Structure 1
Amino acid sequence: MMLCCPFCFLPGKAQAEAAVLPEGASQEMETLDTNASRDQQVCKFSEDYKQIYLSLTYSVILILGLPLNGTVLWLSWRQTKPWSCATIYLVNLMVADLLYVLTLPFLIITYSLGDRWPFGELLCRLVRFLFYTNLYGSILLLTCISAHRFLGVCHPLRSLPYRSRRHALLGTATTWALVVLQLLPTLFFSHTDYIDGQMVCYDMTGPENFDQFFAYGMVLTLSGFALPSLVILVCYSLMVRSLIKPGETLRRTGNTARAKSIRTILLVCGLFTLCFVPFHITRSFYLTLRFLSSQDCQLLMVASMAYKIWRPLVSMSSCLNPVLYFLSVGNNRVRLFQELRHNKVGEQPAGAKGEKPRGGQIWVLTR
């Protein structure tokens, strides 16, 4: 399949309106080409890789994400109420992941059919909305978690009144409200259209709304990613600085506990960077090239490929969140095996009598 870009060299708004496609909609470009003047230069590049690559990656995320997130939610539900602050944040994070994972069968079928969308207008808008809800909901929830842990590590006594279940519930409710308000425009921008008689579902928007979508996309990147990432970076940096200080911190935690906490922080920051940073960079670069009417076909092809390669990989956070939950704190693995054994043989987990199960730990520093 060849992607043709006959309007890549048109100046100003004409090019911008012609440049935005649903993922993989090379048919639209072929239609646009019939309306272009014959002396226009045309950018052509193959996008056959998407039908295999996107179907495969989304299938892997579905297969891994559904049972992993379901297991964490199950363990959280089984533990004694009331939930701790960490469990409240965790449950909301897993819900955000599951909302997205449940939309993946629609995308897998679509790309397997060669980008044809057979599910109608409503599901098109809903699937695109839930993708960004998971993305920016996860980022804001991780921001809440980092701020919560920062207060517990760097200001354990002064912050005690603010690290309560009430504030955790308020934080998660505020997060969902902000995410929904930020993403309501996606329900307008995303829609279906017919290209050469085949229904497609726009990932971004149609050509006629490109200017508005570009402005919205840049604002969303700033408010939904850049600013929360800065907060996360500052919180974890101050936590590491506090942990490497000698004296009181050393007496409280010990060398082994401090080293484990620092490794956990670095792991979390590394995986956050891997999942979210490349996607936003490639997406912003791709949109900017379209908006500025780039005359470099090769650069346009690289930008398009990079964005579409990283787009499903950003969803790997749906699988990594529950994995980190188990790997970072050994107690979680023990609880899982105890629960499975209890269900199998009808016995209570070892040490369960007379004990109140500990609250689930988020995959960051534990104190």
Structure 2
Amino acid sequence: RCLASIYLINLLVADLLLLLALPFKITKDLGVAPWNLMVFHCQASAVTIYISLYASIAFLAFIITDRYLQECHTVRSLRLQEVGFARLLSLVVWLLLLLIMVPNMALPIKQVKEQTYLSCSSLKKDISLHWHTLTVFLCMALFLNASAATLISSTLAVKKLLRSRSDPKLWANARRVAASVAAVALAYVFSFVPYHVVRTPYTLAQTKLITDCETKKRLFLGKESTLLLSVLHLCFDPLIFFYLNAPFRHTIRKLFPCLGNHAIRDAKEEAAEEMMQPATSAQQEAAC
């Protein structure tokens, strides 16, 4: 749980970054932004959106993997569940994303005549466009690795569920873990997979490897609509916080007393989970 809290806090930071950057994109897309604000969006807030997006992808994958590892009490899995490892992994994710993304803010741009609509790629010089393309493929690699971790953890959780059918106690615990892993995995797939299916061909259109005008328009519309799905993970994340973070859940129940009927049941489930944790888990929670 301590590790889940670390990943959830980082996921919350990513969501806050997205909330700060979204108004600039919405204003630009509605066509009501002044020219300087459109340029600012292309240089800064658009990059912030993608930093938030890929941070969310990474930390959701960590949450899914950690949720499965809680039930896999091998020496290797316990090492992966150390608090120091989780903090180091979180720091590496942020530093890696900043290293990849920040040059898109800093590299020089062209002077473009003011117009009603601004395509961000039209501002980029050749070196900026090449770095942007590299950024897209590096982020695609991050997404594929996170997706592999999500798929493996989900598959192993389901296999564990099927193997424990003969033991009622193990069945109840495995079913709870499999349900939480599956729920987060479905939110992950719904939010991020469609966008990445469209992202690579759209980038090829930006770099002029795809030149057909009609194809470029369709790819742009596909990219924008699937990006909206990705942004909708903001709606799923509070449900993840509610399910996986006990302090957040208790705060919500204080604000909404009608949810208090489930408090006793959740307390029993949490106590049962704690009893099934190995000694090292208690040490980890103490370290928090």
Kindly tell me: are residues 220 and 113 of structure 1, through their superposed partners in 2, closer, same or farther at Cα, counting changes over 3 Å? Answer: same
1:195 alignment partner, SS class: coil
Query: 1 or 2, which has the higher strand percentage?
Result: 1
Per the alignment, residue 170 of structure 2 pairs with 253
Cα distance in structure 2, aligned partners of 1:211 and 1:142? 29
Distance 2:108 2:196 in 1: 19
Q: 2:148 aligns with which of 230, 241, 248?
A: 230
Give me the whole-angstrom Cα distance separating, in 1, the residues matched to 2:255 and 2:217.
49
Q: Does 1:335 align with 2:250?
A: yes
Show the counterpart of 1:86.
4
- Answer whether contact 2:161 2:174 (CA < 8 A) is retained: yes
- Percent identical among aligned pairs is 23
Which deviates more from structure 2 when the two are superposed, residues 185-194 or residues 223-232?
185-194
C-alpha root-mean-square deviation of aligned residues, in Å?
Answer: 3.7
> What is the CA–CA distance in structure 1 between the aligned matches of 2:63 and 2:14, rounded to whole Å?
15
Q: Displacement of 1:173 after TM fit?
A: 1.4
Deviation per CA, 1:263-302: give whole Å up to 9, x if none.
3322222221111111111121222245464464443332
- Structure with greater helix percent: 2
- The answer as to whether partners of 1:275 and 1:317 remain within 8 angstroms in 2 is yes
Return 5+ residue gaps in structure 2 as ranges. Answer: 258-262, 274-280, 282-288
User: SS state of the match for residue 244, structure 1?
Assistant: helix
| Aligned residue type for 1:336 | T
Aligned partners of 2:145 and 2:180: how far apart in 1? 22
Task: Measure, in 1, the Cα distance between the counterparts of 2:195 and 2:17.
Answer: 20
The alignment covers a number of residue pairs equal to 264
Per-residue deviation, 1:121 = 5.4
Of 329-338 and 134-143, deviating more is: 329-338
Mapping of residues 20-31 of structure 1, within 5 Å:
none
Displacement of 1:201 after TM fit?
6.8
Structure number with bigger Rg: 1
Q: 1:184 maps to which residue?
A: 102
The 3-state SS of whatever aligns with 1:194 is coil
Note the C-alpha offset of 1:203.
6.2
Kept in 1: contact 2:108–2:125 (CA 8 A): no
CA–CA distance in 2 between the matches of 1:85 and 1:289? 41
Question: Residue type of the partner of 1:313?
Answer: L
Match of 1:134 among 49, 52, 55: 52
Aligned to 2:180: 264
**1:261 is matched by which residue type in structure 2?**
V
In structure 1, which of residues 325, 336, 340 is the aligned counterpart of residue 241 of structure 2?
325
User: Kindly tell me: are residues 329 and 84 of structure 1, through their superposed partners in 2, closer, same or farther at Cα, counting changes over 3 Å?
Assistant: closer
CA pair 296-182 structure 1, distance change in 2 beyond 3 A: closer
Give the letter aligned to residue 167 of structure 1. Answer: F
Distance 1:215 1:109 in 2: 25
The TM-score normalised by the length of structure 1 is 0.60
Other-structure match for 2:196: 280
- 2:112 is paired with a residue whose SS is strand
Question: TM-score w.r.t. structure 2 length?
Answer: 0.74
SS state of the match for residue 155, structure 1? coil
Quickly say closer, same or farther: Cα 1:325–1:292, change in 2 above 3 A. same
2:87 matches 1:169:
yes
Q: Please state whether the residue corresponding to 1:98 is helix, strand or coil.
A: helix
Q: Which structure is richer in relative contact order (CA contacts within 8 A, separation 6 or more)? A: 1
Q: Is the 8 A contact 1:154 1:239 kept in 2?
A: no
For the residue of structure 1 that corresponds to 2:36, the secondary structure is: coil
CA distance in 2 between counterparts of 1:290 and 1:105 reads: 24
Distance in 2 separating the partners of 1:121 and 1:300: 22
Matches within 5 A, 1:351-366: none
User: Hey, what's the Cα distance between the residues in 1 that align with 2:252 and 2:32?
Assistant: 43
Contact persistence 1:89–1:145 (CA under 8 A):
yes
The amino acid of 1:319's aligned partner reads C
Does the 8 Å CA contact 1:190/1:202 hold for their aligned counterparts?
Answer: no
Which whole-Å deviations, capped at 9, do the CAs of 1:110-148 have from their partners, x for residues lacking one? Answer: 233356443375564221221111011111112322332
Distance verdict in 2 for CA 1:229–1:336, change over 3 Å: same
Assess if the C-alpha contact under 8 Å between 1:110 and 1:117 holds in 2: no
Q: CA deviation at 1:235?
A: 2.1
Q: Is the 8 A contact 2:43 2:105 kept in 1?
A: yes
Partner of 2:15: 97
Q: Which amino acid in 2 is paired with 1:105?
A: P
